[in-house]
Amino acid sequence: MIETDTYRVRLETRRAELVERLNQLEDWLDDPANPDAVERATERESDEVYEIQGLAGQEELTAIDAALARIKNGMYGTCLSCSEPISRARLDAVPHAALCRNCMR
């Protein structure tokens, strides 16, 4: 059985970082458009990058919330596909991992 306290703290810390970052991205995307056409074009390119970062952040946030739910219900560290244990090395690298290395392939 995996000791989940360390992973829970890491997941909660990363979750808080992501929420803060997503709020910043949202604020930047809500900024009024620059009246200068050249600057507006540059801002649009930046906005596209921010949107991609926001989508990736949302996906990670969803995975973190699912991992925290697995901790709560005692299923953390168990592969959702094959029900085998997820290696400690994988959880150390990706604490929100839902699949073992074999199933991830």
d(Cα 12, Cα 104) in Å, to the nearest integer? Answer: 24
Q: Which two tokens stand for residue 85?
A: 């244990």
Q: Token pair 């009024």 is at which residue?
A: 32
Say how many C-beta atoms besides its own lie within 10 A of residue 103's C-beta: 14
Instruction: Identify the bridge partners of residue 85 per DSSP, sorted by sequence position.
Output: 78
1 — pLDDT class (breaks 50, 70, 90): low
Question: Each residue of 73-100: pLDDT tens digit?
Answer: 999 999 999 999 999 999 999 999 999 9
Provide the residue ranges of all domains of the chain, joining segments of one domain with +. Answer: 5-75
* Cα torsion 84, 90, 95, 97: sign: negative
Question: Each residue of 61-76: pLDDT tens digit?
Answer: 999 999 999 999 999 9
* pTM score of the predicted model: 0.82
Nearest CA-CA partner of 15 in 79, 71, 84: 71
Q: What is the pLDDT of residue 32?
A: 72
